[in-house]
Amino acid sequence: AQTVTQSQPEMSVQEAETVTLSCTYDTSESDYYLFWYKQPPSRQMILVIRQEAYKQQNATENRFSVNFQKAAKSFSLKISDSQLGDAAMYFCAYRSGDTGNQFYFGTGTSLTVIP
Amino acid sequence: GAGVSQSPSNKVTEKGKDVELRCDPISGHTALYWYRQSLGQGLEFLIYFQGNSAPDKSGLPSDRFSAERTGGSVSTLTIQRTQQEDSAVYLCASSPRGLGFAEQFFGPGTRLTVL
């Protein structure tokens, strides 16, 4: 089974600053999809950004962007101009392109935004 | 509302009792997932339904856990003879299709506490 590793249990950032959350994964597949989800205290998981493995261009969504390094199996999330509302748990997830029934999630990174 | 709904939002039960957790997916979504999220942990895949196909039950931790999906819509996760280690948040997600790039839309979860 694929594994997803988030090595930073907790991170903090000053409001308006930039923070990068790391994620690595282990797979032998060439076709897959990667996701970052945000889970605020309300527990509602929300998709932040996603990346197809066959695309070399890094995905961006407003203040959120990824650094996808396929050879290194790394998928980090960069949050620019951090806002108080960005405070949440962030989960990295992997989905196979071939047998894509399951999503594999990391253990999450708790992000604190300091005013 | 148009989102995924789950009920109850919180459930407290005594060890040994059976519980039923309900998930109403987004209308028209053919794929439905159940996850378990223990404190400080990532999401643990439990079971996956896709249309009329046989469900993927590979994540169910024991035979005390079962799930069904009626009419391709509402799903019920049943835990029999609950144990204290079953205490967790149970998340349901639906997706417009089972493979590929499609994101999952999550419900708010049910927090289960087994005393």
pLDDT digit string (tens) for B51-79?
A: 888 898 988 999 999 999 988 789 999 99
- Residues of chain B found within 8 Å of residue A100, distances taken between Cβ atoms: 98-100
* Residue B91: both structure tokens together: 């998340």
Q: Which of A6, A42, A105 lies at the smallest CB-CB distance from B43?
A: A105
The residue behind tokens 């950032």 is: A13
Size of the A and B interface in Cβ pairs below 8 Å: 57
CA distance from start to end of chain B: 33
**Res B96: pLDDT:** 81
The helix/strand/coil state of A22 is: coil
Distance from the Cα of residue A32 to its chain's centroid: 14
Q: Could you give phi then psi for residue A84, rounded to 5 degrees? A: -55, -35
Q: What percent of chain B has pLDDT over 70?
A: 95
* Residue B102: both structure tokens together: 């499609």
Q: Which residues of A59-69 are buried (b: 16+ CB within 10 A; e: fewer)?
A: beeeebbbebe
* Residue A56: both structure tokens together: 């070399």
Q: Which of B35, B58, B103 lies at the smallest CB-CB distance from A35?
A: B103
Residue A102 predicted with pLDDT over 80: no
**Res A100: pLDDT:** 59
Residues 6 or more apart whose CB falls under 8 angstroms from that of A75 comprise: A23, A24, A25, A34, A36, A51, A66, A67, A68, A69, A92
Q: Which of A88, A93, A113, A105 is nearest to A36 (CA)?
A: A93
